[in-house]
């Protein structure tokens, strides 16, 4: 039996194989493929982990992040609070934590009219972004009111996307005291547009340990098309 630590890897994609091979030099990597966030399934996955001596689970995909919390806490590991995770998974909420942010405002097409939203926009052109990470077509460069109305109309007609966003948010919010919940949890954020033809956007890569230490390990360059939609 190997003395290397055992780790669970959630939902690996083919392009991740090289990284998994590298990890297997130092760990015993077990691939796991949970389908839902249902408590019964999470309990079953945690039981499987214990049987295989898996002490924690991880992964590369944003879509699996909530699985990390649900499974790791069942294995007795320190995990982010539900409230912290809710903020991490919503671009608007993340902006509200910044000390000196560029201009931004929330956009809620189901509870605001086109006219109400247009009246809030103080910068044209601007960026309109889906706040729910890994859901929906994400980034829009809005040049004028017609562009904005078109995106709002498309969202209002996409009942499947609305339902999926609402379902995920409801799961994230389970267990959070009502007085701690944010007052606004919008599907879109309008914010200052950075000209990607003259600037480079980097994604900060890091993590916070259970003791609160911030560990930085990379800056990843983001690549965009000329209309500012991300690759």
pLDDT in tens, the chain (231 residues): 568 999 999 999 898 899 999 999 999 999 999 999 999 999 999 999 999 999 999 988 888 999 999 999 999 998 999 999 999 999 999 999 999 999 999 999 999 999 999 999 999 999 999 998 766 567 888 999 999 999 999 999 999 999 999 999 999 999 999 999 999 999 999 999 987 777 787 888 888 787 889 999 988 887 766 655 554
User: How far is 59 from 32, CA to CA, in rounded Å?
Assistant: 10
Asked whether residue 90 falls in the same domain as residue 184, the answer is yes
pTM of the model: 0.87
49 contacts: CB under 8 Å, gap ≥ 6: 8, 30, 32, 55, 57, 71, 75
**Cβ atoms of 97 and 187 closer than 8 Å:** no
Asked whether residue 13 is assigned to any structural domain, the reply reads yes
Which residues is 9 bridged to in the sheet?
Answer: 31, 58
Asked whether residue 230 falls in the same domain as residue 185, the answer is no
CATH of the domain at 73: 3.40.50
User: How far is 131 from 189, CA to CA, in rounded Å?
Assistant: 6
**Cβ atoms of 27 and 7 closer than 8 Å:** yes
User: How far is 91 from 213, CA to CA, in rounded Å?
Assistant: 23
Asked whether residue 88 falls in the same domain as residue 146, the answer is yes
What integer pLDDT is reported at residue 231 of this predicted model?
A: 44
What integer pLDDT is reported at residue 173 of this predicted model?
A: 96
Where in the sequence is the domain holding 217, given as residue range(s)?
Answer: 195-231
Asked whether residue 184 falls in the same domain as residue 204, the answer is no
């Amino acid at each position: 039996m190997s003395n290397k630590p055992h780790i669970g890897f959630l939902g690996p994609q083919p392009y991740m194989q090289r990284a998994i091979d590298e990890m297997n030099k130092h760990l015993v990597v077990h691939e796991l493929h949970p389908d839902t966030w249902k408590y019964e399934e999470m309990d079953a996955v945690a039981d499987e982990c214990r049987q295989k001596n898996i002490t924690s689970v991880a992964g590369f995909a944003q879509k699996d992040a909530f699985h990390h919390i649900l499974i790791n806490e069942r294995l007795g590991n320190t995990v982010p609070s539900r409230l912290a995770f809710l903020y991490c998974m919503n671009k608007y909420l993340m902006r509200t934590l910044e000390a000196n942010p560029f201009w931004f405002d929330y956009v809620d097409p189901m509870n605001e009219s086109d006219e109400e939203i247009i009246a809030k926009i103080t910068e044209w052109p601007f960026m309109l972004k889906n706040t729910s990470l890994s859901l929906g077509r994400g980034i829009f460069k809005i040049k004028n009111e017609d562009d904005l109305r078109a995106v709002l109309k498309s969202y209002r007609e996409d009942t499947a996307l609305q339902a999926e966003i609402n379902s995920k948010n409801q799961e994230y919010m389970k267990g959070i005291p009502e007085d701690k919940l944010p007052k606004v949890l919008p599907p879109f954020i309008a914010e200052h547009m950075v000209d990607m033809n003259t600037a480079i956007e980097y994604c900060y890569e890091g993590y916070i340990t259970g003791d609160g230490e911030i560990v930085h390990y990379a800056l990843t360059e983001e690549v965009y098309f000329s209309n500012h939609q991300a690759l």
